[in-house]
Amino acid sequence: MTDAPAREGELPLETDRLRLRPWRASDAAMHHKLWTERDPRVPPHRRIDAHGHPTVADLEDWAGRRDDTPPVGLLVAERKDTGEAIGYCGLIPNVHGQHDEPEIAFELLRRAWGQGYATEASWAIIRRAEASGCRRLWATVRDWNTASRRVLAKLGFVETGRVEPDEAHGDSLFVAKTLRPSVPPSP
């Protein structure tokens, strides 16, 4: 992995095998495939609906409207050897509005699973979060999501004891990781 700390806003981020870059309209087909591949236990608002939405065109539009200003932002993960976009990784706003404690998020095409890509991409995002002054990162993960829980554990996220029960789709566990920000946190 590239160890040099990323400076705020400096893109793409690079790891040994991946490039993390902003979304392009041409990523919409890959993004749509991610939606179609989601586990049936994922709640309906994150699944393709009965009318086929979001469509590839909807997701192209979504990509064009993004504002990925650090510290938050989702980046497309692209393999450096083939140029293939395999998913995304990044930070989303904290539901409680704490600017310097965003949530990490990652999702990869099934054909890219099991090769360490999510962990590798997440480390680059964590370094960038530290460079942006983030003090802590959060993640919410369904209790049944073994792969994601394992990735988060490998990254050093720990369970906080906070759980949002959901009988229909699986309880959401709140995990967190304390960072060492390399710039003073915002007040």
Ligand X SMILES: CC(C)(COP(=O)(O)OP(=O)(O)OC[C@H]1O[C@@H](n2cnc3c(N)ncnc32)[C@H](O)[C@@H]1OP(=O)(O)O)[C@@H](O)C(=O)NCCC(=O)NCCS
What residue ranges bind ligand X (CB under 6 A)?
106-108, 113-119, 141, 145-148, 150-151
Cβ(102)–Cβ(72) below 8 Å = yes
SS3 127: helix
Q: Which is nearer to ligand X, 25 or 42 (CB)?
A: 42
Burial pattern 20-36, b for ≥16 Cβ within 10 A else e, equals bbebeeebbebbbebbe
Please, which residues have CB within 8 angstroms of residue 73's CB and are 6 or more apart in sequence? 66, 90, 91
Query: Minimum CB separation from ligand X for residue 131, in Å?
Result: 22
Query: Minimum CB separation from ligand X for residue 152, in Å?
Result: 8
Q: Which is nearer to ligand X, 24 or 38 (CB)?
A: 38
Number of Cα atoms under 13 Å in the Cβ half of residue 160: 17
Query: Minimum CB separation from ligand X for residue 141, in Å?
Result: 4
Beta bridge partners of 106: 89
Please, which residues have CB within 8 angstroms of residue 32's CB and are 6 or more apart in sequence? 54, 55, 56, 59
Query: Minimum CB separation from ligand X for residue 70, in Å?
Result: 21
Q: Which is nearer to ligand X, 94 or 119 (CB)?
A: 119
Helix (H) or strand (E) holding 139: strand 136-142
Query: Minimum CB separation from ligand X for residue 148, in Å?
Result: 4
Distance CA(104)–CA(93), nearest Å, equals: 9
Query: Token digits for 165?
Result: 């029960």
Query: Minimum CB separation from ligand X for residue 164, in Å?
Result: 13
